[in-house]
Amino acid sequence: MEDSVAPSKGADRIAFYALRGVTRLCDGVGVALVAAILLLIVSAVIARDLLGVGMPWTEEVASMLAIYAIGFGSISAWVRSEHLVVDLFSHKLSGLGKNVQYRLTALISCGFFVLAAWGAWIMSDMSANNKTVSLSISFSYLYYGVFFSFAVMALIAVWQTLRGPVAWLEAPSEEELTRS
């Protein structure tokens, strides 16, 4: 998407910049969270081994940061179509067939994302009174990260279903990558 040329006008131009902004934001936040996890783990090891000070709360915070980092990374990967895909017959479809397949896949994905977001919301409600041992943080905050990522991916999947495939979101094929 970074190498793509923005559409010249209309709703596609707005969508292009909105999705590019979302991916940049998600990438930046995800990298910051992973860096925070690494810093936290290194500081816990140094504190324990060199200073003899235990930091048992770091495991709880690292787990929460990891869930949010995965959520932001999933959103970015969904926009870029970088999730794992098994493509057995798409290359043999006509243009109309590819369009229908794209929309159907986005619609099915949207259904899955809505179901997963709903499950995360229910789990956040069910675990509201369960708290972590060291910091007494509600487990609901863990599920909020899962809910947020699935809800955003569901919104993007709705847009993909309604809009259909766009040239500026298509990933280059393996043949195009080997030719360059």
Q: Cα 83–168–160 angle (5° rounding)?
A: 60
Query: Where does the pLDDT of residue 72 fall: very low under 50, low under 70, confident under 90, or very high at 90 and above?
Result: very high
User: Measuring CA to CA, how many Å separate 5 from each of 11, 76, 78, 83?
Assistant: 15, 19, 19, 22
Q: How far apart are CA 174 and CA 12, in angstroms?
A: 26
**Residue 33 placed within a domain:** yes
Question: Is residue 88 domain-resident?
Answer: yes
Q: pLDDT tens across 31-65, in order?
A: 999 999 999 999 999 998 888 888 888 989 999 99
Residue (of 81, 79, 83, 106) closest to 21 by Cα position = 79
Cα(80)–Cα(103) distance, integer angstroms: 16
Q: pTM of whole model > 0.95?
A: no
- Structural domain boundaries enclosing 92: 11-179
Residues 6 or more apart in contact with residue 77 via CB below 8 angstroms: 83
Q: Answer yes or no: is 60 within a domain.
A: yes
Using only the alpha carbons of the chain, give its radius of gyration.
20
Which of 156, 173, 180, 151 lies closest to 15, judged by CA? 156
- Kindly report, residue by residue over 143-165, the tens digit of the pLDDT: 999 999 999 999 999 999 998 88
Lookup: tokens for 128: 């509201």
Count of CB atoms within 10 A of residue 163's CB? 15
CA 137, distance to chain mean position in Å, is: 24
- The reported pLDDT for the residue numbered 41 is 93
Does some domain include residue 143?
yes
**Domain count of the chain?**
1
Q: Is residue 152 part of a domain?
A: yes
Inside any domain, residue 127: yes
Decide if 5 is inside a domain.
Answer: no
Of 168, 167, 166, 150, the C-alpha closest to 109 is 150
More confident site: 60 or 87: 60
Is residue 65 domain-resident? yes
